[in-house]
Structure 1
Amino acid sequence: MKRVVVKVGSAVLTKGGIINKERFSNLVSFVAAISQKYQTILVTSGAIATGATVLPNISNKTTAGKQALAAVGQAKLINNYQEEFKNFGITVAQILLTADDFDSIRHSENALNAVNFLLDNGVLPIVNENDSVIVDEILRGDNDSLSAQVAHYFDADILVILSDIKGYYDKDPNKYPNANLQKVVSELSIGELEQEHSPNDAFATGGIVTKLRAANYLLSNDKMMFLASGFELDGAKDFLLNGVHNSGTLFSKE
């Protein structure tokens, strides 16, 4: 593998409705470590939660409120990343995308050219959806779909989704203590892709089904996805840096 996309969701970055500093710092340290081995693109959520700390009186329950919080929060979020990555000598660049950008050959090629140039010059691209103009992900996907498109169109070998779950189980581990983690999944059924969303965080809009759809999209394009805990990063770090698969689920046809 040469190029990796790392996606982190709101459920990992936030605690009690605000960005958790320890988790944020751990994420930055993790990305900095794998950037020593791979060209790395970070897809991040968290703009709405960050905006809520600036404008606490605006509700995130309405679409307009979410858009406003995202617009305010994105600036602060990218600044937080800039300051944290400085500690590792890493320069970051902000790239705001929408699904429509990938529907346009010209837009997607322009974005790819920009990303390639940044990576070739040692800059870490940080991608988020432009939530102030497009609302699909803030309503449904928490950037799961966007990150899959980024991995595909930006020629990544694998998408790593850091989540509030340790991987994909054969049944809901919150309901069934005997649920087993599936270490490798090569295909997904229609039934698995049509489950109800089940986000656990007030600022998260996805759930396991949006991650499975992201995995299915990548499988259909001969790409891999790795789903792992964003709270305990050793599993993802071992997999990427040491080639050891102790935890997490790998979605791969190989």
Structure 2
Amino acid sequence: MRELLKDCKRVVVKVGTSTITYPNGLLNLKRIEELAWVLTDLKNSGKDVVLVTSGAIGVGAVRMGMKERPTVIRQKQAAAAVGQAMIMQIYHNFFDRYNQTVAQVLLTKEEISNDNRYQNTKNTMETLMELGVIPIVNANDTISTYEIEISDNDRLSALVAEIIGADLLILMTDIDALYDQDPKTNPNAKRISSVEWVTDEIKKMAGDKGSQFSVGGMLTKLQAASICQNAGVRMSIVLGEDPTIIHRVIAGDDVGTFFHSKKA
């Protein structure tokens, strides 16, 4: 069913911390610029595009001299406040080179669990896309506490895809696909090309979380896939090193791991 992706009208792209930063936690400006070009080109082709970005806490932590991602709420909030401003300024600068307007949308669990806030969030996103704007979504970690934080941005991106009725969610990460075993430790691990449904057996294939500045691992991506499948949203996991892989996913190429949905 990959060939159907070329006809999708609404795409959510999620970039993880490891995709937009170097291992030392500093922003990978070249990759962010390439991402801005690809997403603007996708928008110019007539598709609605939403970007879900990670990295605020990690980038802010590095800027303030922290050696690893903070775990104390107050420190996470402070790091997010610094990092969010940095990331949005850079996104704005790069998208502006291609005359593409972007908007920041910060969400907590309350916007998703409360009916009125859910509808307000949906209305805002729909209006932005109607006006030709690319919404850039992140968790509102600056004000988040345990009760209202969204545990990871893989889940957040799946919930955003559900809210706006997206056709496709693309998760860009530091591994090129789901494997039957950990490819970092087992050279005989085999790539899983497509998944009909996320079962317990599939979840057992998930490994550990990613870099020291990130939260999500393969398990969170499979949880996101479950949300998407139940919401009728197709999903792909791909390597984030080259943003042009987004074009290959939409063209229906056999890259990464493709997750079917009730639509396919």
Do they superpose with TM above 0.5?
Answer: yes
Listed as ranges, the gaps of 5+ residues in structure 2 are 1-7
Deviation, 1:174, is 1.0
2:263 is aligned with 1:245: no
Equivalent-residue separation in structure 2 for 1:250 and 1:172 (angstroms): 18
Cα distance, 1:172–1:140 mapped onto 2, change above 3 Å: farther
TM-score, reference length from structure 1: 0.91
**More divergent stretch after superposition (50-59 vs 215-224):** 50-59
Equivalent-residue separation in structure 2 for 1:14 and 1:151 (angstroms): 24
Number of positions where the alignment pairs a residue of Structure 1 with one of Structure 2? 252
Confirm or deny: 8 A CA contact 1:229 1:236 kept in the other structure: no
2:22 is aligned with 1:12: no
* Letter matched to residue 86 of structure 1: D
TM-score, reference length from structure 2: 0.88
Identity of aligned residues (%): 35
Listed as ranges, the gaps of 5+ residues in structure 1 are none
Question: Counterpart of 2:102 in 1: which secondary structure?
Answer: strand
Deviation, 1:175, is 1.7
Structure 1 residue ranges, 4+ long, deviating more than 4 angstroms after superposition: 194-197
Aligned to 1:198: 208
Cα distance, 1:227–1:57 mapped onto 2, change above 3 Å: closer
Aligned to 1:85: 95
Deviation, 1:237, is 1.6
Question: Counterpart of 2:169 in 1: which secondary structure?
Answer: strand
Deviation, 1:19, is 0.9
Deviation, 1:195, is 6.8
Aligned to 2:58: 49
User: 5 Å matches for 1:33-182?
Assistant: 33-37=41-45, 38-56=47-65, 60-63=69-72, 64-134=74-144, 141-182=151-192
Cα distance, 1:174–1:141 mapped onto 2, change above 3 Å: farther
Larger RCO: 1 or 2 (CA < 8 Å, sep 6+): 2
Deviation, 1:207, is 0.3
Cα distance, 1:248–1:187 mapped onto 2, change above 3 Å: same
Cα distance, 1:60–1:177 mapped onto 2, change above 3 Å: closer
Confirm or deny: 8 A CA contact 1:197 1:206 kept in the other structure: no
